């Protein structure tokens, strides 16, 4: 009986390996990426690439264990949630109010240690931000947020409607 259960579970696990979510990889850089819309200093681009883009862009770097299901589904769910909150590859499609508020939130999350997520940095040690990284990212995000808000006369106290 135990042997049949084990064989049944093994068959299910093997079958699951063939059911995979689509990869989050944009072949050609889009025209709506944040770097196409606004100047992003080289050091900030480096920080975004190592600590943010896997979950908050259309260019995820997949680890080897993504090929093991159900881990791949779990990662795909995190990526979908991250992109749903903020997608740097689609940043130019956001309203100016949403852009300003998302950048303000980036600065706040980094300052408070909410991003990058601990569950991400456990495995991606290079994504751990040192104080210089945090300062550079926060200063850039806050500065750009204020610039967008000022140029477009955005009241940062009002909520942005979900789109």
Answer whether 150's CB lies under 8 Å from 156's CB.
no
CB count in 10 Å sphere of residue 150: 10
Q: In the chain, where are the structural domains located?
A: 2-151
Q: Average pLDDT for consecutive 10-residue bins of the chain (163 residues)?
A: 81 72 69 91 94 91 80 83 93 95 96 88 86 96 95 82 57
Q: What is the structure's pLDDT at 58?
A: 92
Answer whether 132's CB lies under 8 Å from 88's CB.
no
Q: Output the six-digit token pair for 2.
A: 């135990």
């Amino acid at each position: 009986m135990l042997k049949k259960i084990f064989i049944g579970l093994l068959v299910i696990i093997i079958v699951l390996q063939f059911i995979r979510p689509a990869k989050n990889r944009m072949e050609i850089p889009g025209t709506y990426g944040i770097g196409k819309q606004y100047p992003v200093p080289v050091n900030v681009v480096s920080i975004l690439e190592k600590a943010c883009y896997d979950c908050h862009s259309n260019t995820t770097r997949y680890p080897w264990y993504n090929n093991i299901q159900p881990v791949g589904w779990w990662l795909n769910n995190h990526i979908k949630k991250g992109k749903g909150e903020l997608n740097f590859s689609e940043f130019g499609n956001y309203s100016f109010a949403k852009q300003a508020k998302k950048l303000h939130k980036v600065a706040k999350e980094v300052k408070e240690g909410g991003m990058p997520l601990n569950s991400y940095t456990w495995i991606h040690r290079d994504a751990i931000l040192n104080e210089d990284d945090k300062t550079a990212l926060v200063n850039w995000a806050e500065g750009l947020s204020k610039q967008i808000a000022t140029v477009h006369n955005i009241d940062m106290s009002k909520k942005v409607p979900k789109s």
